[in-house]
Amino acid sequence: MTADFVLKSGELSIARIDTARGKRRLFLQKAKAIPMTKELKGTYMKATFDRPLKEVLDLIVNKGFAHHASVVYGDFIEPLRIAAGIAGWEVVE
């Protein structure tokens, strides 16, 4: 079952909790969902990052993160960074 719509525009926080070599780590990025027309089946958005896309992709590939992440509307990067610090996780931005 799919809801089949384009998600709204707005500020995004992107995060993924991961384990590598026995240590927890948190991938964090800020982005912005931008307006787009519906072209495909499913529920999705088009987003731009606060830094060049190549840097984000290189970070994901070079640090070995899986390609799925959680997305929430709003800027929650700092609270997530603080929570990771309290838990002793590596933060990758």
pTM to 2 decimals? Answer: 0.85
Where residue 50 falls (left for φ over 0; alpha for ψ -120 to 50; beta otherwise) is alpha
Kindly state the average pLDDT of the residues 32-61: 89
From CA 79, how far away is CA 28, in angstroms rounded? 11
Kindly state the average pLDDT of the residues 44-52: 91
pLDDT tens, residue by residue, 25-35: 999 999 999 99
Q: Give the residue extent of every domain in the chain.
A: 10-92
CA 2 centroid distance within chain: 21
From CA 45, how far away is CA 61, in angstroms rounded? 22
More confident residue, 36 or 88: 88
Q: Please tell me the predicted confidence (pLDDT) of residue 91.
A: 97
